[in-house]
Structure 1
């Protein structure tokens, strides 16, 4: 009975795979000993050569202030800072996206701070890689190698993914060598996790572990649907909750890096929040998905397109969005100058407007409100000593909080912060009032956000 049930299950899965829309003939199960059983082997034979191992070496440099008493003991020429250097090694994965030019995509956190990047190809060759460019806020890096007989992965349209689609993760977990795991797409548009500044993740239950970062998430045709990036691991191991950066988001970022050598961030010029049940009821809306616009910056792309405060943006280029965070991630990775169609609801009526995105590099004007509602209206920029307030819109929540242009955020409560990512990480789990430590001119003060 057990064998009959197994054969029946195999036959049913074979039938479902053969009927799946868009599935290539090569992905259909093969025959083994006269029985047709499902196998991903034919697809993987074509796809796995495009996934590489990434080994990095570098040196972490840390600086520690020397206490005044120590400096007094050793005289006026004693150093003010103590510099420590600590060598490090790291392992990750990458995906070849252009065989002719040798382009490889991986995560920024895999190669960050590396002095040397070595690529391990599927056939055993090792090649040194050149860093072309990175985007720390979305955690993408582009590398390039010079080698013959490379195999590139074909990229899919990740906007067409649906929950329940099959997904296969390929990478190099724990330095074991190339490993394949399978699962499904568990969710789309995951954000607000505090992992990256720009979040619009594909969630999957395909097993992803340390070393899988930068590897491929593919569909049953072997087409790239995402770059594996992070996991939720309460106990330190895989629990079936992994996240990948969508292929379309990767495409936009890579194209900008290749063309400009950097990411030229697109800016819409709005601040807002997720559409909650309370907001939806207050506006008499049936939908509970979208981004609620709190404020539109003067002379911004949104202002010129006719977007107004109180609008609910529900789609980008015809694709529905779930949250303001997803809207922010899509806009920021499309690139300056892109023409984008936004579907919105105003006074209960559906409208479509077209906006030409503005440009910024590291400034994240639209990100401020997503980090904390009372930062909305502030333009934030990474500074060597913290996060600088480069502008504050009049009558905005940021202005009401007491923030001023030129302020430098250096801490949250009693914890220091060094950049936008650490600021977001500190604020994401805070409940109730929170105190920002600010350096203004030559003095320090605390501002409370409620």
Structure 2
């Protein structure tokens, strides 16, 4: 069954919309949460780790942009892997994205609630579930509604971060000595910090996974992905330096809310709480949209239940996929605390982009926009960062992929031969 026969999505997003959706995906969990575990791994060397993560993210971004221009349909690397490397590679990428990012959805919902409702755990869980259902309902109404709310949330988050940075700069609490000890965690610690911080850069994939909804994708996507990434790198670098100057690596490493720790002495904690809540909502909104489109693509090819491939006749969104996602995430949020899934999510995303780089490497000259050595560097970088993640994250990620691949093998063996294609 072809995608066209199951319903196509509407091309309604321009370059600005695509950039904002990418920013909404990235200006979220990373800037408000990932600096803590990164500081534990690499000390002040987290700034070096940030640079390493940014270089690898750029390589991955160019691969994704080049592939999305050639295959402007929903699904991202799931589709690129199928087309360039084979269906098993595509499934591996799609499975890692859907499972890893579903866990991230739950983490973002709980992060939002913890900042927005400093009350009992049951109240936070209720608010988190309400956030998931509310944003899923908004996504249901069409991608332009998603883009509009993302603009508002990104603007508010950037404003809050600007206030934090200025407050640290003029508050008299910045200590340049806190930037010392770059080698505190050694090379391994710096690479582990890079792997954890990579979690914060993964949002540009949302632009590629929504390629079927972008106007003039051959031009728009290759422009939007690097723009969103460069803006995010600049924001993270400024915020990371400010947080280290204010609190130092030891305090950041011990904190579950590192930016709150960095600004407590400046009296700006309420600003951080508001900014973190809004950024978490923006990340959650973009995650729901991205997972819905990848699930749609996988369902079209029979790698997820075909029911998920439905496209709403009026709003032209994958409404079954997004409804199912909202239910699953809502149940998880109500029962499990997944705010510690940064390493697990990074594992899945790094495998996803390693496959994207391999797929981009095989593209012919007519489809190439960047040199092949970037694909080699990006793929090798992903593998290195995977190997240096905390071992519980590596173990959990390996189990996740083993379950998915074994499940697909069993499912295919039970199908009629005509349904396996």
TM class by shorter-chain length?
A: under 0.3
Higher helix proportion (structure 1 or 2): 2
TM-score, normalised relative to structure 2: 0.21
The structure, 1 or 2, with the larger RCO (C-alpha pairs under 8 Å, 6+ apart) is 2
Structure with higher Rg: it is 1
